Amino acid sequence: MVSKLEKSIRLIAFISLLLTVTWIIFTGISMSQIQSTWSDIDYLKWASQPDIFYIVNYVNVTVLTIVVIGLFALLFSYFSEKNKTLALLAIIFIPVYGVLNLVCYSIQITVVPSIAANALNSSSDILFATELVQSISHSAIGFVNGLAYAILGIPSIIYGYMLSKSQKRISGLLLLINGVLCIIGIVGYILQNTILSAGILLGGVVFLVSLIFIVLDFGRREKVNKS
**167 against 144, higher pLDDT:** 144
Indicate the domain borders of the chain: 4-226
pLDDT digits (tens, 9 = 90+) for 33-71: 888 889 999 999 999 999 999 999 999 999 999 999 999
Compute CA distances 83 → 3, 158, 196, whole Å: 18, 11, 33
For 192, half-sphere exposure in the C-beta direction (CA atoms, 13 angstrom radius) is 2
pLDDT digits (tens, 9 = 90+) for 93-120: 999 999 999 999 999 999 999 999 999 9
pLDDT at 223: 45
pLDDT at 181: 95
User: Has residue 73 got a pLDDT over 70?
Assistant: yes
3-class secondary-structure state, position 113: helix
Of 144, 138, 135, 96, which Cα lies nearest the Cα of 112? 135
pLDDT at 153: 95
Q: How far apart are CA 118 and CA 139, in angstroms?
A: 18
User: Has residue 227 got a pLDDT over 50?
Assistant: no
pLDDT digits (tens, 9 = 90+) for 157-202: 999 999 998 888 899 999 999 999 999 999 988 888 888 888 888 9
pLDDT at 65: 97
pLDDT digits (tens, 9 = 90+) for 196-212: 888 888 998 999 999 99
At residue 225 the predicted structure's pLDDT band, cuts being 50, 70 and 90, is: very low
Exposed, middle or buried by CB within 10 Å (0-12, 13-18, 19+), for 184?
buried
C-beta of residue 123 within 8 angstroms of C-beta of residue 177: no
H or E, element range at 190:
helix 169-191
pLDDT at 167: 82
